[in-house]
Amino acid sequence: MIRVILTDIEGTTSSISFVHEVLFPYSAKHMADFVREGEADSIEIREQLDAIAQTSGVARNDIEGLIGVLDTWIREDRKETPLKTLQGMLWEQGYQQGAFRGHIYEDAAEYLQRWHDRGFRLFVYSSGSVKAQKLIFGFSEAGDLTPFFSGFFDTRIGGKKDPESYGNIINELGVEPGTVLFLSDVEAELQAAESAGMQTIWLIREGDIPETQRQVARDFAEVDRFLLQR
Ligand SMILES: CSCCC(=O)C(=O)COP(=O)(O)O
Ligand SMILES: [Mg+2]
């Protein structure tokens, strides 16, 4: 019996193109000034720079070198927690200034509401920081969807391809693993969630559906059919 739905964002509730063609370019454009201008006043920015220096080996006092690391990580789509934290802080400005609104597929917005109303507990697990998750759903094209969610998980709980991360989430939720349905467009994430005992559905929103033993859905309406059969 499914009681909890845990969802990925990019490629699942929201288009890959919104993340890669709107959010990532915005962070690439504004990151250097954001870090240079914010460092003196913001402990949170300084903490991320400490972590970047540690991971990269670039000297902590070499701000331009650390900005270079951030640029590379954005280009390479690295899921490094300090990058994700800084991106969330930056995107907050973009959402608040109306530079963009969060893309959520219509079916995702509709079924998140329906599932919430039917008593499922909804959670997000994304590489984007919890702040970034609350922003994309809070400033979405469909309005503020954050009230539908009971909680948010990001890379601080672990990487999305690591089975241990899903075990950590299960411990936090205090539920039986088999009562959790994880939705994602990335097979390695589904594999990791299954290793921890979760049920999974592979969202394939575009392109051909490959030969697979996995439960596959084109959209959240198809996920709902699966839920109704259970
Ligand atoms: C929270 S919106 C930005 C998503 C993001 O930064 C990212 O890296 C995508 O990660 P996901 O785990 O949602 O595929
Ligand atoms: Mg994804």
Domain boundaries, position 51: 19-96
Instruction: State whether 76 and 122 are in the same domain.
Output: no
What distance lies between CA 124 and its chain's CA centroid? 7
For 184-226, the pLDDT digits (tens) are 999 999 999 999 999 999 999 999 999 999 999 999 999 999 9
What distance lies between CA 227 and its chain's CA centroid? 23
Confidence of residue 34 (pLDDT cuts 50, 70, 90): very high
Flag whether pLDDT at 66 surpasses 80.
Answer: yes
Q: Of the residues 48, 73, 96, which one is the last residue of a structural domain?
A: 96
Rounded to whole angstroms, how far apart are CA atoms 157 and 16?
A: 23
Instruction: State whether 108 and 138 are in the same domain.
Output: yes
Confidence of residue 2 (pLDDT cuts 50, 70, 90): very high
Q: Is the CB of 19 under 6 A from ligand 1?
A: yes
The answer to whether 81 and 44 have CB atoms below 8 angstroms apart is no
Q: Which ligand sits closest to the CA of 86?
A: 1
Residue by residue, DSSP assigns 104-120 as --HHHHHHHHHHHHTT-
Q: Is the CB of 133 under 6 A from ligand 1?
A: yes
Q: Give the CATH number for residue 59.
A: 1.10.720.60
For helices 43-56 and 24-38, the axis angle rounded to 10 degrees is: 110
Instruction: State whether 75 and 140 are in the same domain.
Output: no
Instruction: State whether 92 and 105 are in the same domain.
Output: no
Q: How many domains does the chain have?
A: 2
Q: Which ligand sits closest to the CA of 76?
A: 1
Instruction: State whether 86 and 187 are in the same domain.
Output: no
The answer to whether 24 and 136 have CB atoms below 8 angstroms apart is no
The answer to whether 13 and 112 have CB atoms below 8 angstroms apart is yes
Instruction: State whether 144 and 33 are in the same domain.
Output: no
Hey, which of 7, 8, 9, 137 would you mutate to test ligand 1's pocket, going by the most ligand atoms within 8 Å of its Cβ?
9
Complex-level ipTM = 0.97
Instruction: State whether 140 and 184 are in the same domain.
Output: yes
Q: Is the CB of 127 under 6 A from ligand 1?
A: yes
User: Which residues neighbour 171 within 8 Å (Cβ) at sequence distance 6 or greater?
Assistant: none
Confidence of residue 230 (pLDDT cuts 50, 70, 90): confident
Residue by residue, DSSP assigns 78-105 as ---HHHHHHHHHHHHHHHHTTS--B---
